Structure 1
């Protein structure tokens, strides 16, 4: 029994070493395990019988490598890896990738094989992924679509797909209204709970972002291409700029500055991408951006405090316009429907 326990423990140690790096010289493995190279060879054969695809290289400096196989054999994780995996699986419910049930089953499987000390840590660390409430439920993306997009990005192959327009709530997708697209896929990203493909549109000769839930990949993919650089070189800044209405500057199309009769600490808690500077104990400077000048004025107006507009003039005009609208609303009069154009 003692010999069996020693052998089992050595097999686990060998497997852990093989997972830690790509290639291991046989002599180094023997040294780490404090056994002969012949024992290492026998242990490698035992792991192969258990389903681990271990490749051996011949020669005086021959060694071993844990290769990819057709089946997923048992895996070993250290304590921190196991905790990280459990947290990631708990957070998977907010990805919108349609893998919530599979993630829950995977988490239960991982938890069952954890030692008691790790199960206690995982049970104490409960992660609830909360997304910002949307006007309507966010669409789910089939995981096969995400895999197809990711594969095309990785292989650098031209992707063809049918792209459906935005449908009214409750309406199904009409294949007759879809438009065929041909793109060079570059990145698969998430934004606001949705999945997007960032790609160079070959027909429109411009960068585009496509909602993954609205596209249906076609097979086979097209020829390989040499990737071009995303404008600005930073895909996160590029995507943020596109969704903020920017065309090249990666900033809000409208940005203004005001002084509020509030402490900086009371304002900064509600401002995510703005600049708050303390001027006095009960005064601060706020620089903020928005889609439009009326939108920016309305955002600033939510603070229950005196407001001094520093600039630009478009922001002051927007405050005046909103003041007229609010006055009309309070008196049941006609509302001013004109909206000044956004300035870029």
Structure 2
């Protein structure tokens, strides 16, 4: 029972540790996800700041080029007017073509810068969209993390409740085990007592069987004595009859025969009384033997000891009476 109790305690401890490890793993995974989202958001912000700085620089460059183009256009116009006034028509056309080429080159560079600025603007917009998406994902992840935290709190609360229930159940089981152990020990003591009582009963039955055998032998002896007494009585009767015949034949010995006859009659009465007494003792012995058998059967059924006092009386009675019988 102690081993079973220790196994149950170990199982509950392992169960609690398993749930704590699951909660710890879930919490670690949430923290890792949050850290990754923060890193992504930080990288996106740094990239966005770099793009914004690059855009500002390009805008400044475009503005500077635009200003330079305007200045060049003004300068070209002023020089054209000045050259028109100083030089002839052919030389002015060459200067004009030269200025127009410079203007075209400046416009081409400005167009390239515009395309580059537009591309950077598109990249910036895309980065902003990515940042917004990352923010939405972060917000969603924060919401999920909050939900997970609530879920973890609920699970922890449920785990605490379940742990309390299991603890209560474990205490109840331990109490029941203690009660059953006490009951088992009590049952073992009662079983040992009954085993001792059964051993004593077996010894009593064995003693009673021996006493029964002795009583039967004594009863047989009483029967033999009774038979012998009856034989003696019959012999006495025969002798009395012979004495009567002798009295008839020998009248001269009448007085002596009468005395002897009276003696024989007294002896016959004594023998008759002795025979009746022995018969009564034999019947009493048979009745007591029957009662002893019933008592032995009751002792076997109820696991009770039987004192052999009655059998002792049976064994002692005939011997004392035989000692008091007259001797021929």
Q: TM-score, normalised by structure 2?
A: 0.13
Higher strand share: 1
Larger radius of gyration: 2
Structure number having the greater helix percentage: 2
